[in-house]
Structure 1
Amino acid sequence: MLSYNSLRIVCPFRSLLHPNWLMTNRQTLTCSAHCVSNNLTKKDTWQRQNNLKPTGNERKLQYSTYAASSPRNYGTGQFKLNCWNCKQPLDQTPAFFCMTCKAVQPPEEDISLFNIMDCDYKFSLDTHKLQKRYLHLQRSLHPDNFSQKSVEEQEYSESYSALVNKAYHTLLKPLSRGLYMLELKGMVIEEGTDSGADPEFLMELMEINEALDEVKTPEEANKIGQHTKGKLAVLTEEIDAALLKGELQSAKALLAQMKYFANIEEKVKEKLSEFM
């Protein structure tokens, strides 16, 4: 059970918005701290679970995995892909277009989203560069550009355009980017009941959510929002350091915490929209 002093640490929002709240609700808080792990909804909890997937470096294109029915072709004695249209070798990866006939190509199987967006495989990314790459690829691969082309090129442009869109939105935000990096390492975080979460952390989350439900002004919501942004910034630095050191379990636990605070950040935005 959490002590009164502990509650003063993990309940900054009620005391910030309503100075006398902590003294008048001490007994209720103590009970809540004892029961909090059973009262959180599934939406805001995570279950640690590993999938038995291949581990190692990020996924790279394995040319030998294509089925015989693939539109791609192979040169005899080579492991490079050939253009589906002119049969010339494709030397670039990813190969969006054939350099010989200029035909748009189908997406390679299992290609990394980092590879598509021409990003280094790391948690800390230049999002400005990511956006520029996204806009360039979408202009080049948009299906409207291939309305007068063959059916194959129309289909491939649609597939690549959708894949580029997925890559951009996955890598843009730290949470989805980090989860994808763990996925490439064979680790998955799924939603569920996290019975092993730290009680003080769970208590803090409950207090933030309850305080947010009770805010009366945009200023009160903004105070919680600024605190949440600070938490996310610290977590981002800690996750980056953990991944650089190869400490995947630590990164996994930190990403679970980031997911909670990302949910709160969205709730703050919803609350602010109510005041508009």
Structure 2
Amino acid sequence: MDYFKFYDIPLSFCPDQNLVKKKFYELSKAYHPDFFVNEPEEKQQEILDLSTLNNKAFQTLSNPEKLLPYVLTEKGVLTEGEKYQLPQDFLMEMMEINEAIMDLEFEPDAQKQAELQKNVSAVEQTLNKELLSLTADFENTNEDVKAQKLAEIKDIWYRKKYLLRIRESIDKFAHRK
């Protein structure tokens, strides 16, 4: 089930977090399994399923890292197992960072590692700013522009996933010392 419909709130990249929290607590009370212990097993299972759905909805709608791919999936822009091709200029920029990581493996240097982390953080900050500008008033955008924005948001999501792997490589290297 669509989490936004379940919470009776509009689909959004930026849902009102106070409303999300309010709906979560409201439904937590309504679907708490302890209130249905004397009901038939079928009803108990239904309530348990609704309680589980409520927890998953809250975890997704209150976490920006889970919310973004969820909305993209709901909009039909992101599909599981998709082979997305990142832009060549981004891959070239990342190749330089990956080469720097390999250099650090052979010649550890705390200063170069800190500089590398700073460079990755700068790329992440730029992507986050772009993402914020694209998602901030997405719902108020006309349909023609929405399609373009969705494609750009999807691209940023894949770039952020790539950067996460790079950050994990840097962290793994840092822990080997």
What is the TM-score normalised by the length of structure 2? 0.65
**Greater CA radius of gyration, 1 or 2?**
1
Q: 1:236, CA displacement in angstroms?
A: 2.9
Indicate how the Cα distance of structure 1 residues 154 and 206 shifts in structure 2: closer, same or farther if over 3 A, else same: farther
Determine if the alignment matches structure 1 residue 245 to structure 2 residue 142: yes
Following TM superposition, by how much is the alpha carbon of 1:202 offset from its aligned partner in structure 2, in angstroms? 1.8
Q: Give the equivalent residue in structure 1 for 2:15.
A: 125
What secondary structure is seen at the aligned counterpart in 1 of 2:159? helix
**Residue correspondence of structure 1 range 122-201 to structure 2 within 5 A:** 122-174=12-64, 176-195=66-85, 197-201=86-90
CA contact (8 A) 1:147 1:154 kept: yes
**One-letter code aligned to 2:121:** G
* Higher fraction of helix: 2
Instruction: Provide, for residues 90-138 of structure 1, a one-character-per-residue CA deviation record: whole Å limited to 9, x for no partner.
Output: xxxxxxxxxxxxxxxxxxxx5x311222432222223344234324433
Q: Which runs of 5+ in 1 are unaligned?
A: 1-109
SS of 2:13 mapped into structure 1? coil
Q: RMSD value over aligned CA atoms?
A: 3.7
The residue matched to 1:188 in structure 2 has which SS? coil
Q: Tell me the residue number matched to 1:255.
A: 154
Which structure has the highest strand share of the two? Answer: 1
Following the alignment from structure 2 to structure 1, what is the Cα–Cα distance between the partners of residues 94 and 124? 10
Cα deviations by residue, 1:26-79 (Å, 9 ceiling, x for unpaired): xxxxxxxxxxxxxxxxxxxxxxxxxxxxxxxxxxxxxxxxxxxxxxxxxxxxxx
Residues 231 and 264 (structure 1 numbering): CA distance in 2 closer, same or farther, change over 3 Å?
A: same
What CA distance in whole angstroms lies between the structure 2 residues aligned with 1:205 and 1:191? 22
Aligned length: 164
For residue 78 of structure 2, give the secondary structure of its aligned residue in structure 1: strand
- Correspondent of 2:124 among 228, 239, 243: 228
